[in-house]
DNA sequence: TTATTGGGAGTGAACGTTCATTCTCATTTT
DNA sequence: AAAATGAGAATGAACGTTCACTCCCAATAA
């Protein structure tokens, strides 16, 4: 009974975040007014404010949800039988399979983090988390001798994040951009960067 | 005499754009108020509006200036004795030498183009211009047999733009990001993507 | 030379609007 | 009855923009 109450609260919060996501993806943080979000969530402002204390809290809530999702997705790499295959799966999941709205929202968060100090902190926290996971992933691969040993893991992690940002950004800004078409080139490039020099052979192939 | 008048007008406009750039880079388009810009330009609102009809016109003006600068920078590649050297120079010029403010401003324009339809048109126009130039650059290199022939030039251009976006974005969002350190890896990757298979040898070297 | 005129440069208070947030009150649940 | 949930009008601050006005200086008229 007291279980259900907390559950209801949590559900309502999730609904509100869903509505906010739609509004933000459509119009951006600044142009999406609380009234819009209230409309989308079929709820009055007064009531909405009982669930989230501010607009910023909505953004933070969305960030947290995304973070949980992003972190979970790293399991893909661990489960894969071979490093590059796992990496390819991760890349596809993050950069191709996401909907346009999800990508747009991601850009929106990135852009907003440049402005709102609190969001910036939250975002950089998430970034650090992801970065650590990438670094860990690379380290593990190096330990298994699946990638070259003479690699600046830190710089390599930067490159991977940079590629992710670039893909996301291009998708959200250029409607004609075809992620599906570009991904193989990206993966080939990354393989060239990370793979051990002697098994460069399948460098152009997307799958073994 | 009538020459000087137009000149003065133009100078004043440039000063205003400089001030606006500083404000936008610092606070973003939405949080930089016209009052802020007026303060930065040491000018009253009424007077500023004699030079630019709206806030949006300021953004457009900045876009145009950047476009001119970006387009001009492609001469770097044409002048270089060898393709990859020119490309490296271009990359350095665009991605490392730029000040933090310039990069931030660039991100701001990209983000804003997702919202303001007029800015979006202008931005996509510029993007198309740059993209064409990259494609032309690649085509010329292919003609000179400096890069591999079996290359999807369109996709390759996308990859290059994506890398540029990623670098800009990372710089503007992550203060600890070291573009200088990452650039060699990026260039090596790009070389791996574009170079003819038989001269892969200096793939790890930054300069011949 | 001095006085008059004209117009562009510049000012800053004021306006109308939008927006996040709060207040008050009604309805439902416990 | 008391508490939780909900609605929606009200509030006040911030913003882009406008407007009535002043200042300055060059050209003309006296």
Question: Distance, in angstroms, between A146 CA and closest chain B CA?
Answer: 18
CA distance A148 to A195: 5
In this complex, do A28 and B193 lie within 8 Å of one another by their Cβ atoms? Answer: no
Q: Determine the distance between B23 (CA) and D21 (C1') in angstroms.
A: 29
- Chain B residue with Cα closest to A26: B115
Q: Minimal Cα–Cα distance from B140 to chain A, Å?
A: 21
Nucleotides of C under 7 A from a protein CB: 9-14, 18-24
Token reading at B153: 């030039």
Q: Per CA to C1' distance, which residue is closest to D19?
A: B46
Q: Look at residue A78 in the predicted model and tell me its pLDDT.
A: 82
Select the more confidently predicted residue: B190 or B107: B190
Contacts (Cβ under 8 Å, ≥6 apart) of B130: B70, B71, B161
Average pLDDT over residues B42-64: 94
Q: Chain B: nearest CA to A99, how far in angstroms? A: 16
For residue A166, give Cα distances in angstroms to A122, A141, A158, A195. Answer: 21, 24, 12, 22
Q: What percentage of residues in chain B have a pLDDT greater than 90? A: 65
For chain A, the distance separating the N- and C-terminal CA atoms, rounded to the nearest angstrom, is: 54
Q: Does B106 contact A at CB distance below 8 Å? A: no
The rounded distance, in Å, linking the Cα atoms of A15 and A25 is 15
The C-alpha atoms of residue B127 and residue B53 are separated, in whole angstroms, by 25
Q: Quickly tell me which residue has 């060699």 as its tokens.
A: B184
- Identify which has the larger pLDDT, B73 or A6: B73
Distance CA B112, CA B28 (A): 9
Is the CB of residue B174 less than 8 Å away from at least one CB of chain A? yes
Which pTM does this prediction carry?
0.87
**pLDDT per position as a tens digit, B87-139:** 999 999 999 999 998 999 988 888 888 888 888 899 999 999 999 999 999 99
What is the per-residue pLDDT for A18? 95
């Amino acid at each position: 009974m007291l279980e259900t109450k907390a559950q209801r609260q949590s559900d309502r919060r999730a609904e509100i975040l869903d509505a906010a996501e739609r509004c933000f993806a459509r119009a951006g943080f600044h142009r999406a007014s609380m009234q819009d979000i209230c409309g989308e969530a079929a709820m009055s402002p007064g009531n909405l404010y009982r669930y989230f204390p501010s607009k910023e809290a909505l953004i933070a809530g969305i960030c947290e949800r995304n973070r949980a999702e992003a972190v979970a997705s790293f399991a893909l790499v661990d489960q894969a039988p071979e490093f590059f295959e796992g990496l390819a799966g991760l890349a596809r999941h993050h950069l191709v399979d996401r909907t346009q709205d999800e990508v747009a929202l991601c850009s929106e968060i990135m852009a907003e983090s440049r402005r709102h100090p609190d969001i910036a902190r939250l975002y950089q926290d998430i970034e650090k988390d992801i970065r650590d996971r990438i670094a860990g992933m690379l380290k593990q691969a190096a330990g298994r001798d699946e990638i070259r040993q003479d690699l600046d893991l830190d710089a390599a992690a930067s490159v991977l994040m940079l590629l992710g940002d670039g893909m996301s950004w291009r998708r959200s800004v250029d409607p004609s951009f075809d992620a599906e078409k570009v991904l193989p080139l990206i993966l080939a490039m990354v393989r060239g960067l990370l793979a051990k020099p002697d098994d460069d052979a399948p460098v152009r192939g997307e799958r073994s």
